[in-house]
Amino acid sequence: MNAWIGIAAAAVAGFAIGGVWYGPLFGKMWMAARGIDPDCAKDDTNMPLLFGTAFLLNLWMAFMLVHLFGTYDAEVAPHYKLVIAGIAAVGFVIPAMGVNYLFSRLTLKLFAIDAGYWVVNFLAMGLILGWLH
């Protein structure tokens, strides 16, 4: 049961970080880099579906991190969970994104915004799961 509390808390944190990251911190820059008109951004988008799916994907990532931690023979110390989550982001998520961004010919600025989010998200999840799991 304690694992589920950690997973839920990590997912909420990832979702909240996304709200701040793509809102007040980098929202305008991200929209400009993506070519999204802020006035038209919500016109034809099913926002409950969009945000609900984003939350479920954060939940899935937190769940997968817990399973990744479980692949170690011994109980992983909390600070190592932070490191493992960072390695997952920097070693797998960011390079995979980079390949897609290269072939999609997306800008370095957009890549930096999106990659930065994933690093912060995974580190937050690792930190929370280190405390609660």
Q: Which of 129, 123, 115, 16 is nearest to 69 (CA)?
A: 129
Structure tokens at 61: 């990532």
Q: Where do the H-state alpha helices sit in the chain?
A: 2-20, 27-34, 47-69, 78-88, 94-104, 108-132
SS3 40: coil
Check pLDDT > 90 for residue 8. yes
Asked if residues 117 and 25 have their Cβ atoms less than 8 Å apart, the reply is no
Structure tokens at 59: 């939940």
**pLDDT of 97-130, one tens digit each?**
999 999 999 999 999 999 999 999 999 999 999 9
Query: Can you give the residue range of the structural domain that contains 79?
Result: 2-132
**pLDDT of 67-78, one tens digit each?**
999 888 778 788
For the chain, what is the domain count?
Answer: 1
